[in-house]
A and B are shown apart, each in its own frame.
Chain A
Amino acid sequence: DTAVSQTPKYLVTQMGNDKSIKCEQNLGHDTMYWYKQDSKKFLKIMFSYNNKELIINETVPNRFSPKSPDKAHLNLHINSLELGDSAVYFCASSLQPRGETQYFGPGTRLLVL
């Protein structure tokens, strides 16, 4: 059984398009995250939600909008895609109380042409 799943796994699109990435976890966790791994392999946090509430929002362009319909799902919508958005996006989830141990999905490889 997949604990944290993401769709799609690969996404190739043109500059200026809008795209969404979906994430689902079946671990029963309350907190979910989006991370971005850039070309230099840095893995950086973008957002975190707890039970549908946004609790971490790093300095991410407002073209990126996370949406959490329920505590098991956290989707990432990206408007007006730019070349620099090309990266691998990872979803993760964690348990309370502090959520240090995070469990990651397989990643979505986004390529903007």
Chain B
Amino acid sequence: DQQVKQNSPSLSVQEGRISILNCDYTNSMFDYFLWYKKYPAEGPTFLISISSIKDKNEDGRFTVFLNKSAKHLSLHIVPSQPGDSAVYFCAASGEFRGTASKLTFGTGTRLQVTL
């Protein structure tokens, strides 16, 4: 049962253009969403997050949009740079115990930024 889905396994974008990565979820209990970036042979690196009480969060070149009614979120990267080439994971949280949160991850989208 895949509760967080990233339907595009890969995306190629030219340098300087906008990259849009999408994520859909099915569990309406999720109330916090995160994007992680992962380079080969490294661990996921936290990028940006958004609470369900917001519909947009911006941090420099990265913006995350949340559409709760559609159970959809997206990550916009503007402008895209070659160093952004990586696998991007969407994650959602809605269940926590004490101080720990169970993150549910999508399967990732590989972004390639070309020159």
**A33 touching B105 by the CB < 8 A rule?**
no
**A48 touching B100 by the CB < 8 A rule?**
yes
**A interface: dominant SS:** strand
Give the CA-CA distance A100 to B99 in the complex, in Å.
9
Q: Which residues of B contact A (CB under 8 A)?
A: 32, 34, 36, 41-46, 49, 89, 93, 96-103, 105, 107-108
Give the CA-CA distance A6 to B41 in the complex, in Å.
13
- Tell me the nearest residue of chain A to B93, going by C-beta: A100
**B32 touching A90 by the CB < 8 A rule?**
no
**B103 touching A100 by the CB < 8 A rule?**
yes
Contact residues in A for B43 (Cβ distance below 8 Å) = 4, 90, 92, 104-107
Give the CA-CA distance A48 to B44 in the complex, in Å.
17
**A96 touching B99 by the CB < 8 A rule?**
yes
